Structure 1
Amino acid sequence: MGKFNLCQKLAFLIFSAAVLEGQGTGAEAAEITSTYTKIRLQDCSQTEPASKEGTFGGSWECSGFQGQKVYVAEGDLRMFVSFGPSAAREPAAAQTLPNFNTINETLEWRLRDGVAFATILRWFPTLDDSGKTGSVLIVTQLDPGGAICQIARIDAQANKNANVLARNVADRLAGKHDCSRGPLIEGKPGVLH
């Protein structure tokens, strides 16, 4: 290889280190992607019927990403959505918006290296007696054992970039949020004030 002076050897070592670092050591950031499933109550198993007095509309168990359990319930014209093997007992099963509301059927799952760690679901709260509705994205962290809860709410009409905000908060906070604090309001509060 011929003779190298000290500067050439140092340059070679720096170049070699840079090449090895570029090849990765397994410590690089995980790949985050999204996938989507549908919540269609007619395709779900009803686990509890509506109450006779009409305040509880029933509950359902649906299948989500890779067969994960999705719990959906309706009570007093408000929806509740939770996840996991004990979904009905997780904090998310008791969380809803204060106004009467419904949910969208498209459920976004945030995946880190193919493993779901959060969901994003659009909710439609009633704004007034005229029947007008708002649009709110709710981010839920998927941390079983008492920590599946809503971590953020984004008014999708007040924020042009609501989907980006929802994904960013999911990627940043899911798995770290203390459920006892309740969900954060991200972006302009709009109807969430």
Structure 2
Amino acid sequence: MTQPRAGFLGAFLWAASMLLAQAAAAGTIESAYTPLDLDKCETVAAPEAPEDGAVFRCKGLHGMDVRVAEGDLRMFVSYGPNAEQQSAASQTIPVFNTIGKTLEWRLDDGAPFATILRYRWDSDNGEGSTLVVTKIGATDACHVAYVQAAGNAKANALAREIADGQARGFSCGRDKPRTYGADGKQTD
């Protein structure tokens, strides 16, 4: 009887060591927060007329540039030294919107790989807010998911789960952002 038990224990220990190795390879995932107050950001391009949009450069985590552009009453947010050329520089939610004043960064061993930002919106159908999950890659940044926050008590947790599970493997040129409703279920 001691042979099977030893075999089981050995297999269990091997499986446990493999899981620990995988967890160690994934690094430590955590959040960091930075303010996103446009009044405290540098104005890169001022509007020529009140209806024209402006472009701002804000300081993000570890001094990373956060580019915020406004156009047609919609906000566009991208990251890093080439922020203007990123996919995220032309992505927003489809209705008139503004952005929240806190930017959540998802970090893997201290290195940012995604952000979560609340967009507040107003349309003919009412008003609300959407959490936008954005991938931060070595050469591009782009939207990964849109999580409806109104009526969704677990919207922040869902946005973190999506960022952690999808952002790093998301292809900005190939993949399309997914939308999640107030019930947390994917709607598209």
Shorter-chain TM range is 0.7 to 0.9
1:165-184 matches, within 5 Å, as 165-180=158-173, 181-184=175-178
Pick from 115, 131, 135: which aligns with 2:111? 115
Q: Which amino acid aligns with 2:147?
A: I
Give aligned-pair identity as a percent: 42
Change in 2 beyond 3 A, CA 1:177/1:40? same
CA distance in 1, matches of 2:23, 2:99: 38
CA distance in 2, matches of 1:67, 1:106: 15
1:148-163 matches, within 5 Å, as 148-163=141-156
Q: How far does residue 25 in structure 1 lie from its aligned partner after superposition?
A: 5.3
1:86 pairs with 2:79: no
CA distance in 2, matches of 1:64, 1:182: 26
SS at match of 1:126: strand
CA distance in 2, matches of 1:142, 1:40: 20
Q: Which amino acid aligns with 2:31?
A: S
Give the count of matched residue pairs: 183
The answer to whether the 8 A contact 2:150-2:182 is kept is no
Q: How far does residue 98 in structure 1 lie from its aligned partner after superposition?
A: 1.3
CA distance in 2, matches of 1:125, 1:103: 9
Change in 2 beyond 3 A, CA 1:69/1:160? same
Which has the higher Rg, Structure 1 or Structure 2? 1
Pick from 28, 33, 54: which aligns with 1:58? 54
Q: Deviations over 1:54-97 (max 9, x none)?
A: 44321010000111110001111111111111011101011111
Which runs of 5 or more structure 2 residues have no equivalent in the other structure?
none
Q: How far does residue 21 in structure 1 lie from its aligned partner after superposition?
A: 3.3
Task: Show the counterpart of 1:18.
Answer: 13
Q: Which amino acid aligns with 1:178?
A: S
What TM-score do you get using the length of structure 2 for normalisation? 0.83
The answer to whether the 8 A contact 2:79-2:141 is kept is yes
SS at match of 2:128: coil
SS at match of 1:134: strand
The answer to whether the 8 A contact 2:149-2:182 is kept is no
The answer to whether the 8 A contact 1:136-1:155 is kept is yes
CA distance in 2, matches of 1:105, 1:137: 13
Q: Deviations over 1:5-35 (max 9, x none)?
A: xx58x949x56x939939x658623111001
What TM-score do you get using the length of structure 1 for normalisation? 0.81
Task: Show the counterpart of 1:3.
Answer: none
Pick from 92, 96, 102: which aligns with 1:106? 102
Task: Show the counterpart of 1:34.
Answer: 31
Name the one with the larger strand percent: 2
